[in-house]
Amino acid sequence: DGIRDLRMSRGLGDVYKRQMLRNCVRNSSIRVLMCTRALATGARVAAAAKAPVGTQLIPVMNKLQEIFAATSSGKRVDLPQLVVCGSQSSGKSSVIENLVGRDFLPRGSGLVTRCPTILQLESLPEDSDDTDGYATFSHTGEQQFTLEQVAAEIRKQTNVLAGPSQRITSQPIVLRLFMPNVLPLTLVDMPGMTRVAVGDQPRDIESRIRACVLDYIRKDNS
């Protein structure tokens, strides 16, 4: 409209015409910029609308959980999680593996799970070519593990945290599992409840495990 008015403005001085042209170009640039920003905002909103509510927050929450689990300051943030607890060798790990659809946790007789294992499930993108999935641990950084390697790494880190004997610890192992078509859940595999101390376990092993379990299940978001 401004350019059309400029062409029709015969008899106006050249200085006035140049001023009208500058105003026209400036106003057009502002409109184009506003439209571009609106389109970009609309694209972000549309992309977010396709994802389930809260999905974008899950990676942030998982990272917070890793940080607070690794610190010894006593401070922590209580994030939503499902705590799997029960008596020793009652099938707790099997429940978790059925939710994931794969076998990856350590197995054996006696007290196999000797420290809490925080399992963070994350779904791979739909266009990912990875059909097997992979895992990472908070204590190994970005190093990737196949699901077949997870059990050995859990045993190794358990010995670091709790010692090579049958002792337990409340210090957790944080495992992130990236799989196709899994629900974005946080699960905690707890040591099994037992009444009888074995080997060099302390005589109060039952009360220690109970205190460890209660520390996780009494949280409001567990």
pLDDT digits (tens, 9 = 90+) for 143-190: 999 999 999 999 999 999 998 877 889 899 999 999 988 888 899 999
Q: Where is pLDDT greater, at 2 or 104? A: 104
Residue 1: its pLDDT value, please?
53
Taking a C-beta distance cutoff of 8 angstroms, is the pair 174, 65 a contact? Answer: yes
The yes-or-no verdict on residue 112 having pLDDT over 70 is: yes
The yes-or-no verdict on residue 101 having pLDDT over 60 is: yes
- Tokens 């629900």 belong to which residue? 183
CA 54 to chain centre: 11
Q: Taking the complete model, does pTM exceed 0.85, yes or no?
A: no
Closest CA relative to residue 122, chosen from 171, 51, 71: 51
Give the pLDDT confidence of 49-99 residue by residue, as tens digits: 445 545 566 666 666 666 666 655 555 556 678 999 988 878 888 889 988
| DSSP letter, residue 145 | B
What is the number of residues in the chain?
222
Give the pLDDT confidence of 194-208 residue by residue, as tens digits: 888 877 777 888 898
The yes-or-no verdict on residue 12 having pLDDT over 70 is: no
